[in-house]
Amino acid sequence: MIKETFSPEETFAFGKWIGENALPGQVYTLVGDLGVGKTVFTQGVAEGLGITEPVNSPTFTIIQEYESGRMPFYHFDVYRIGDIEEMEEIGYDDYFYGNGICLIEWANLIEEILPEQIIEITIEKNLEKGFDYRKITVTGLLEQIKWQKNLKISKSGESKEKKMKILGLDSSGIVASVAIVEDENLIAEYTVNYKKTHSQTLLSMLDELVKMTELDLDTIDAIAVAAGPGSFTGLRIGSATAKGLGLALKKPLVEIPTVDALAYNLYDSRALICPIMDARRSQVYTGIYRFQEHKLVTVEAQMAVPMAEMIEKLNARGEEVVFLGDGVPVFGKMIQENLKVPYSFAPAHVNKQRAAAVAALGGIYVKEGKVVTAMEHVPEYLRVSQAERERAQKLQEEKASEKNS
């Protein structure tokens, strides 16, 4: 989430909105240069929490505690901290894992002790837009609010999380795929690898899935969409479908890199994973991945490169690799002739895009707060389309012709 403000009053008002929507146990980190308005923002948060006492920076005391609001508010400023042990001396874990709200300035100085689930707030100036202009970037807020509101108390008094239901969409290639994943369970998946346009298939596939599972779309928590790279037309159809659903249902979107989702098909593979999607002109959309401790790790992020260059990269690494994606039949012979490390090709049931992988990764992203609104979502093409390249070339030729005339 990005909020632009043009006065201290607007910055204060946005802080107040944060405070009004805050939930017990949330930890906020606040980053910004001196004089950027962190104190004004924090005062707004305090007012949103219903705190009536004066709120000032705790620079010389590390923490200020406010108990007069609807829940405790713990304001940290760790700029002058000399050693992490100082945090242990004040019993930081009682605050971080308690029932109040923590807001921590200069949290980058204590990264090693921060909880896994945090909400990051960054405030930046831009004098070109005005002296009082501020760009406030919030990461992880909207979904954590939703996530924590779904906490239910079981009869034993222990916290129990509501099951999270993710709708996955992938139309980034020839394959069209729709899936529903609820926590660790794949409820349903509809995948077609056939030459029909996704505009004809994607919504009808979703409709069929909804009927078969008696799904109420209002019950989904987020829409995960393969955000690119891939077919320009396919990405636009998938993007438009996800945005339309997100706006209609008022649900957040999760942007899943297409190549990451492909790699996730090969969960816990011991070899390097190299998805390859045919990008035409002897190029591929690709990346290099591995699994470590059951988590997908990006070795080299998704890119558009000539296949020959990717083969050189893999030879230089000297590790076994497994390939998957619609680029395998196109570049299989080149791989066989030029790759010098052990390799294999993934079998049919996991070698193409699957919305189940998109939805499963979406669930992980949601927990990390990596969501966007439907209005914010845009596909990631990695390179311009053929039509755009031809138009740019035509414009260059016209300019050259004008200069010569």
Specify whether 339 is located in the same domain as 358.
Answer: no
pLDDT tier, 156 (very low <50, low <70, confident <90, very high otherwise): very low
pLDDT at 386: 47
Return the residue matching tokens 């609104």: 373
Specify whether 84 is located in the same domain as 28.
Answer: yes
pLDDT tier, 151 (very low <50, low <70, confident <90, very high otherwise): very low
In the predicted model, is pLDDT for residue 392 greater than 60? no
Is 395 inside any structural domain? no
Specify whether 115 is located in the same domain as 249.
Answer: no
Residue 323: give its domain's CATH number.
3.30.420.40
Angle at 56 between CA 55 and CA 59, to 5 degrees: 145
Specify whether 273 is located in the same domain as 205.
Answer: no
The residue out of 94, 120, 153 marking a domain boundary is 153
Long-range contacts of 139-142 (CB under 8 A, 24+ apart): 139/1, 139/369, 139/370, 140/368, 140/369, 140/370, 141/1, 141/18, 141/21, 141/369, 142/1, 142/252, 142/369, 142/371, 142/373
Annotate 34-58 with b (16+ C-beta within 10 A) or e (fewer).
Answer: eebbbbbbbbbbbbbbebeeebeeb
Using an 8 Å Cβ cutoff, are 55 and 64 in contact? yes
Query: pLDDT tens across 294-336, in order?
Result: 999 999 999 999 999 999 999 999 999 999 999 999 999 999 9
pLDDT at 296: 96
Query: pLDDT tens across 202-232, in order?
Result: 889 999 999 999 999 999 999 999 999 998 8
The type of residue at 26 is Q
For range 72-87, the mean pLDDT: 86
Record the pTM: 0.61
Specify whether 246 is located in the same domain as 297.
Answer: no
Is 391 inside any structural domain? no
Specify whether 85 is located in the same domain as 101.
Answer: yes
Lowest mean pLDDT among 180-184, 308-312, 388-392: 388-392
Is 405 inside any structural domain? no
Specify whether 215 is located in the same domain as 148.
Answer: no
Domains held by the chain: number: 3
Specify whether 366 is located in the same domain as 236.
Answer: yes
For range 97-115, the mean pLDDT: 86
Q: Which residues make Cβ contacts (< 8 Å) with residue 171, sequence separation at least 6? A: 177, 198, 202, 226, 231, 234, 235, 237, 238, 241
Specify whether 89 is located in the same domain as 229.
Answer: no
Residue 85: give its domain's CATH number.
3.40.50.300
Query: pLDDT tens across 29-69, in order?
Result: 998 888 889 999 999 999 999 998 888 877 677 888 998 88
Q: What is the mean pLDDT of the chain?
A: 87
Q: How far apart are CA 105 and CA 198, in angstroms?
A: 47
Instruction: Name the residue range of residue 117's domain.
Output: 2-153
Specify whether 79 is located in the same domain as 175.
Answer: no
